[in-house]
Amino acid sequence: MKELYDTLVIGAGPGGIQAAIYLARYCRRVLILDRTGGRTWHAKHIENFFAHPATSGPRLIQEGLRQAQGFGALYERAHVLGLRKGPEGFLALTADGREFQGRFVLVSTGATENLPQVEGLHQYFAQGIYTCVDCDGYHTRGKRLLIMGASPKTLRLALAMKNMYTPYITVLLTHERPMPQGFQEALASEGIQVLRGSPARFLGDGKGLQALELSDGRVLRCQCVMLNYGYRLNDECLKELSPERDARGLKYKVGPNYESSVKGLYIVGPLVGNDQVAIAAGEGAVAAIDINKRLLELYAGV
């Protein structure tokens, strides 16, 4: 017989760990299943989280896991490929053939960046090359900024960055589609240059980013880069359960306590909304409180 946990937490991101802390403090049997390597792991500077003037993603995750385990939560390194309904709740099926059983499931598997294949990107990633305005836009203030992307959102982002952070902006569009009507005039009026080309490699002195070289030999000087290629959801484990999505078919629909259309399945983080540490942690706390109320109904008839 497989051990029956009160809750399986899939993904050790901020939402999953916060939920595990709450549930473990309620003395519930909680198992965290995580394959590691999520977006928070790549964050080198987190400065917008209450009472943490400066920390890193790895440190935040590691300290959070220790905190959850200190209250009794269990942790397993595992890549959950699928979730299905079980005799007393849910079954989590892992890539290495294991199965885990829980009355409730909270999914906090996040998302993965869509990154262009450019030489030198990983050398300067999160240290001059950024992907999130909410997280790292502040680090571009007053600097020579290059914004790279392949959609009209890239042009809107350039106008927003000019309004908030820096007047020294160049946009590199890595596609040949025509520019939407009105943008060329708006960007020109703000002094934002728009170029087209194929990026080849990022250049620097080992200490900091200095430029982007294009495949045709042009060199674009910059002190920082904001990539605007979006991200994809890490939602493969949800395919069999098929919870409802929003009207656009992108994010998952949840109620006020983050329960999905599948009863007993809770979803938090980028799968349902914003990709922010503070927001995901709050969602995890709300979901955990609701799960505990459901467990009280189940165990004590309260």
pLDDT tens by residue, 199-209: 999 999 878 99
DSSP string, 122-156: HHHBTTTEES-HHHHGGGGTTS-EEEEESSHHHHH
Report phi then psi at 293, rounded to 5.
Answer: -60, -40
Scan for tokens 């960046």, then name that residue.
Answer: 113
With a cut of 80, say whether residue 37 has pLDDT above it: no
pLDDT at 45: 82
Confidence of residue 47 (pLDDT cuts 50, 70, 90): confident
pLDDT at 107: 98
Same domain, 269 and 295: yes
102 in the same domain as 242: yes
Q: What is the pLDDT of residue 302?
A: 66
Same-domain pairing of 92 and 178 = no
pLDDT of residue 1: 59
Those residues whose C-beta lies under 8 Å from the C-beta of residue 11, and which sit 6 or more positions away, are 33, 34, 38, 107, 108, 109, 110, 234, 269
Are residue 258 and residue 273 in the same domain, yes or no? yes
Same domain for 236 and 108, yes or no, is: yes
User: Tell me, what CATH number does 35's domain have?
Assistant: 3.50.50.60
Find the mean pLDDT for residues 69-89: 96
* Residues 152, 245 within the same domain: no
Query: Residue 76 — very low, low, confident or very high, per pLDDT cuts 50/70/90?
Result: very high
Domain span at residue 175 reads: 121-228
How do beta strands 30-34 and 74-77 pair?
Answer: parallel
Cα–Cα nearest to 149, from 201, 212, 213, 196 = 196
Q: Are residues 8 and 108 in the same domain?
A: yes
Query: Looking at the predicted structure, is the pLDDT value of residue 223 above 90?
Result: yes
| Claim to verify: residue 240 and residue 215 sit in the same structural domain | no
The verdict on 138 and 67 lying in the same domain is no
Phi/psi at 148 (5° precision): -115, 135
Strand blocks (E) in the chain: 4-10, 30-34, 74-77, 80-86, 89-94, 99-107, 111-113, 129-130, 145-149, 169-173, 193-196, 199-204, 209-214, 219-221, 224-228, 231-233, 265-267
- Global pTM reads 0.93
2 pLDDT above the threshold of 90:
no
pLDDT, tens digit, 9 for 90 and up, residues 59-72: 999 999 999 999 99
Instruction: State whether 181 and 270 are in the same domain.
Output: no
Q: How large is the angle between the packed helices 277-299 and 14-25, nearest 10 degrees?
A: 30
Average pLDDT score over the chain: 94
Please say if the pLDDT value at position 272 is more than 80: yes
Q: Count the domains in the chain.
A: 2
The answer, yes or no, to whether residue 50 has pLDDT greater than 90, is no
For the cut 70, the answer to whether the pLDDT of residue 235 exceeds it is yes
Whether residues 239 and 189 share a domain: the answer is: no
